[in-house]
Amino acid sequence: MRPSREGSPWTGLWAVVTKEMADHLTSARMQILEVLIALTALGTVYAAVQEIRAVIGHDPFLFLKLFTVNKDPLPAFVGLMGFLVPLVAIALAFDAVNGEFNRRTISRVLAQPIYRDALLFGKFLAGFFTLAIVLVTIWLLVMGLGLIFLGVPPRGEEVLRGLIYLGACLFYGGIWLALALLFSVVFRQPATAALASMAVWLFFTAFWGMIADVLAPVLRPVRFGLPEEFLAQIQAALALSRFSPNILYGEITLALLRPEVRALGPLLTFQLQGAILGSPLPLSQSLLLIWPHLTGLVASTILLFALSYILFQRQEIRT
Amino acid sequence: MAELVIETKDLTKRYGDLTAVDNLNLKVYEGEVFGLLGPNGSGKTTTILMLLGLTEPTSGSVRVLGFDPARQPLSVKSRVGYLPELVGFYDDLTARENMIYIAKLNGLPRREAYQRIEQALEQVGLEEVADKPVATFSRGMRQRLGLAEILIKEPKLIILDEPTQGLDPEGAREFLELIRKLKGQGITILLSSHILSQVQRICDRVGLFYRGKKVLEGSVSELAREVLGSAYRIRLEVQGVPEALIKALKGIPGVQDVTQQAPDIYEVQAKEDLRAEAVRAVVEAGGKLKGIMVEEPSLDEIYARYFEKGGMVK
Ligand SMILES: Nc1ncnc2c1ncn2[C@@H]1O[C@H](COP(=O)(O)OP(=O)(O)OP(=O)(O)O)[C@@H](O)[C@H]1O
Ligand SMILES: [Mg+2]
């Protein structure tokens, strides 16, 4: 990095953000995904309502059940979101930088009085805001459907928990956005960048859990059959599995939308002391449970973005 | 002398073992059209990228409009218009939308921007297609749009990399005509090309590049004098006795060579424009003058001859 640079690195940032967002919101790609998500919301919520009516009846957190209850063969709303949010995020960024190279627009844009920082960060923000718009729309749709089908308004805490879940979804998407952006800097072909992003996603979805289970006994072997040893092994497996954003998302969802969940991972006796089994945890306690998860998501997003930033600064703009 | 717009001192760029630009010392003055000429891979684009701060020099220094592009890139880029080689646009946006984006990146206030966009589109003759998506544009239209986009900055210096590449001869001529008009507005212009003959008409001075080095520099007639030994070629169509005519023409002081190219066509090579003297000599030798024209030496020829001679470095 040069010792001194004139002006602000963010000159032109908003010009980039508004242009990119306009592109996203009008692109056929995003419209297809929006329809897909809307259908998902409709389908899963409708199924959840049926199930709630048939099986559950009364529950202090009826509205949250809309998100988490499933009726076979459909997965629950949160399950589908765990799959769709990365998809949308990747779709928003996999051709962000290499697309400019391929269209030969990059040198035109960077010949304007802006820094590369503004272009890259602008593209990230535009993706993030677009994702936010999509998620808020879906969230409102689910809440609206809930009002219609359940016929009761949600309680304050339910709305709050739902909103925090919405924020968590956004940060979960942020990781995949940053990853796709990184690959769009690394690979010249957008198709390669998209495939690489999907491969990472598949790896964490399908294989990382297994790998964590295999690695844990190696790291924390059970030699004497002591309970501490078993516990250490379980905790190692858990810690390893949390390298996966999907697992983090899953645990965050669990803690937020199912207040009766008292701990993530193995439940120890002292955690149960003074607790009435099955009674819901207050929101502040649930938040405490997932705080490390949220910071983990944000930190890895920042890390991935920083990496794309460094690589992008070094690229020669010759096209 | 007019003010210096571009100045490089021992500017060098290396890619590993390859020296793309080798100790370049270049001066371009205000209001000039300077041509950066040379074959493929001779370092023209690399030089331009360093002028804009898009690539960092390995060594040496650059000043553009008094700024250092590596340290004050924003000052340089807000005053310099750059048309890259084979410029690309956002194809699904219209010409106007593409320009609005660039105007915003330059921080122009909205009303000002709209006005300038209108003017620029008119100047390059694209006002009728301003609201059509760029995807429908021909290569020539894209090139003109690129120029229009530069004009909304009201630049002091315009840098064009291979501006005639991919254009047909007519399109190239029109485009160069546009550039010539800009020169009339007092804008300094630096352009690169590997088709020497195409741009020689509009360049006040040219620098010939070869393997990263600037091997020749000057106005086209200066270079011709230096390399070919003669800058003017006068073509005469005369009816008369060939021997007498050739003898008379050769007798004019300053004439270097006279050749008969066809029965009634003679070519006189001279250091200066000796048309008047040639006419007099022909008439005095009893010839009947049918036509006369002076031909500018072509850069291609200068270039070819320069390397034939094994590159006599100044
Ligand atoms: N990133 C790079 N890495 C290594 N070598 C490079 C790089 N960029 C350019 N070169 C080399 O530097 C030399 C000069 O290239 P440059 O693009 O400046 O030539 P040019 O005069 O613009 O040619 P053209 O007429 O083809 O555009 C070439 O030999 C090219 O191969
Ligand atoms: Mg070039």
Q: Give tens-digit pLDDT for A45-64.
A: 888 888 888 876 677 788 88
A286 vs A131 pLDDT, higher one: A131
User: Residue A319 and residue B89: Cβ atoms within 8 Å?
Assistant: no
Q: Is the ipTM of this complex over 0.90?
A: no
More reliable by pLDDT, A233 or A86: A86
- In this structure, which long-range contacts are made by residues A299-303, counting pairs with CB atoms below 8 Å and at least 24 apart in sequence? A300/A175, A300/A178, A300/A245, A301/A171, A301/A174, A301/A175, A301/A177, A301/A178, A302/A178
pLDDT at B208 over 60: yes
Size of interface A-B (CB pairs under 8 A): 87
Encode pLDDT of B140-155 as tens digits: 999 999 999 999 999 9
Percent of chain B with pLDDT over 90: 56
As a whole number, mean pLDDT of residues B51-69 equals 94
B313 band by pLDDT with thresholds 50, 70 and 90: very low
Q: Quick check: CB of B116 below 6 Å from ligand 1?
A: no
Query: How many angstroms separate the CA atoms of A190 and B34, rounded?
Result: 39
Q: Which atom of ligand 1 is nearest to the CA of A316?
A: 1
Instruction: Mark yes or no for CB contact B101/A111 under 8 Å.
Output: no
Centre of ligand 1 from the C-alpha of residue B15, in Å: 9
- Per-residue pLDDT for A177 more than 50? yes
Is B146 close to A108, i.e. CB distance below 8 A? Answer: yes
Flag whether pLDDT at A278 surpasses 70. Answer: no
On whether the CB atoms of residues A177 and A135 are closer than 8 A, the answer is no
Looking at residue A239, its pLDDT comes to 83
Beta-carbon separation of B91 and A113 below 8 A: no
CA distance B203 to A219: 73
What pLDDT is recorded for position A1?
45
User: Helices in chain B by DSSP H: which ranges?
Assistant: 44-52, 73-79, 95-105, 110-124, 139-151, 169-184, 196-199, 220-227, 242-250, 275-284, 299-308
Average pLDDT in the A28-46 region?
Answer: 89
Q: Please report, rounded to a whole number, the percentage of residues in chain A having pLDDT higher than 90.
A: 48
Which residues in chain B are closer than 8 Å to A109, comparing Cβ atoms? 102, 105
User: Which pTM does this prediction carry?
Assistant: 0.88
Q: What is the pLDDT of residue A53?
A: 83
Q: How far is B235 from chain A (nearest CA, A)?
A: 44
pLDDT at A19 over 80: yes
pLDDT per position as a tens digit, A212-269: 888 888 888 888 888 888 888 888 888 888 888 988 898 899 888 888 877 676 555 5
As a whole number of angstroms, the distance between CA B250 and CA B244 comes to: 10
Better-scored residue on pLDDT, B203 or A209: B203
Q: Which single residue is written with the structure tokens 């998902």?
A: A40
Query: Chain B contact for A19, CB < 8 A?
Result: yes
Q: How confident is the model at residue B314 (pLDDT cuts 50, 70, 90)?
A: very low
How much is the pLDDT for B254?
Answer: 84
Any idea what DSSP says for residue A282? P
Mean pLDDT score across all residues of chain B: 90
What is the chain B residue with the closest CA to A109?
A: B102
Q: What is the DSSP string of B89-117?
A: --TTSBHHHHHHHHHHHTT--HHHHHHHH
Convert the pLDDT of each residue in B15-39 to its tens digit. Answer: 999 999 999 999 999 999 999 998 8
* CA distance to partner chain A, nearest, from residue B69 (Å): 10
DSSP B262: E
- The whole-chain average pLDDT of chain A stands at 88
Please report the pLDDT score of residue A266 as a whole number: 59
Give mean pLDDT, residues B224-244. 83
Residue A81 pLDDT > 60, yes or no? Answer: yes
User: Would you say B24 and B47 are in contact if contact means Cβ atoms under 8 Å apart?
Assistant: yes
8 Å CB contact of B78 and A113:
yes
| pLDDT in the model for residue A107 | 93
* Domains defined for chain B, CATH in brackets: 4-224 (3.40.50.300), 232-296 (3.30.70.100)
Give yes or no for residue B311 having a pLDDT over 70: no
Ligand 1 atom having least distance to the Cα of B42: 21
The pLDDT score that the predictor gives to residue A273 is 54
A218 vs B66, which has greater pLDDT? B66
Tell me, yes or no, if A86 comes closer than 8 A to chain B by beta carbon.
no
Q: What percent of chain A has pLDDT over 70?
A: 93
pLDDT tier for residue B122 given thresholds of 50, 70 and 90: very high
| Residue, of A309 and A240, whose pLDDT is higher | A309
What is the model's pLDDT at position A21? 96
Domain boundaries, chain A: 13-314
The pair of structure tokens assigned to B309 is: 């001679």
Q: Determine what percent of chain B is predicted with pLDDT higher than 70.
A: 97
